[in-house]
Structure 1
């Protein structure tokens, strides 16, 4: 994502990714329904709202980040999200997703029980299986570039490309 000059961060949280990527000739949009902290980052627009309905009119993006987001999307909306990514992405652009393993839900439940972790949005995971990611994005017109696990297998990285 370092080389992408136009980036959309879906579920941008506090805007950390956009702040790290910002620089000369960079244009970014971060969108999150829970975004509350206004930031002034040159070339970046933050939107408190829902993907993709509340996105401002803009040119296509070279990259879209969805880091620990898709597991929070209601089952009936996931295909529409993948299609929206395809529509918003430039030819040969990439979608980068991270998705936790279902084992993370059990770990978070224990941490939440002992009040060692905030349970924010845990109920939204819907028992999502990372195995659903590849067919979901391939059916929307993407090709899988890579799928790797990290953090001792508790997290998954997916990178898809939009074919020209």
Structure 2
């Protein structure tokens, strides 16, 4: 990842950090290298799942799982919080309701679901920045043109209540916080 990739990643993590508690058991879907666990040190346990995760980076409180959610998630107690940082746009639109339901199944009652998702127009900006070699960590060819405005309805269908929604990164990114009903 280039410095700008890391900067944008840190910004997304900073947006969700206030919603995470030291007592939380966190599931980070799309964890890549577990950056969230390194930047948010106050948690009970962290499980990061990603097709490119390196399980050798695990510690006593940090587990990295190479695989896909929910199929490769190891069994365990429900999570207090799930993070999806720049993940929804990578899920085929016809799989989103099932994905949201799987998130609900992995959370304890009143658990938190924290999501960042960019506007689809961001793909054009990213393509230009990649062409200029300013970014390299983004895979816009794996985006499915997710309509951000559908986020509340998709997750309500799975039993979530929207707590907050706001834009950040110059209005090009969205943050949603949900609670499992």
The TM-score with structure 2 as length reference comes to 0.83
Aligned to 1:26: 44
In the TM superposition, what are the counterparts of 1:10-159 in structure 2 within 5 Å? 10-22=29-41, 26-36=44-54, 38-118=56-136, 120-159=138-177
Aligned to 1:9: 28
Q: Distance in 2 between matches of 1:148 and 1:32?
A: 26
User: How big is each residue's C-alpha offset from its partner over 1:120-150, in whole Å with a ceiling of 9 and x where there is no partner?
Assistant: 4211211111111111101111010000000
**2:175 maps to 1:162:** no
The secondary structure found in structure 2 opposite 1:38 is: helix
Q: In the comparison of the two structures, how many residue pairs are matched?
A: 162
Q: Is the 8 A contact 1:22 1:28 kept in 2?
A: no
User: How big is each residue's C-alpha offset from its partner over 1:16-46, in whole Å with a ceiling of 9 and x where there is no partner?
Assistant: 11233345x7112100012237313321211
The TM-score with structure 1 as length reference comes to 0.91
- When residues 37 and 46 of structure 1 are mapped into structure 2, their CA distance, relative to the original with a 3 A threshold, is closer
Q: In proportion to residue count, which structure has more helix?
A: 2
Query: CA RMSD, aligned part only?
Result: 1.7
Q: Is the 8 A contact 2:54 2:66 kept in 1?
A: yes
> Once structures 1 and 2 are overlaid, which stretch shifts more, 111-120 or 144-153?
111-120
Q: Distance in 1 between matches of 2:20 and 2:157?
A: 27
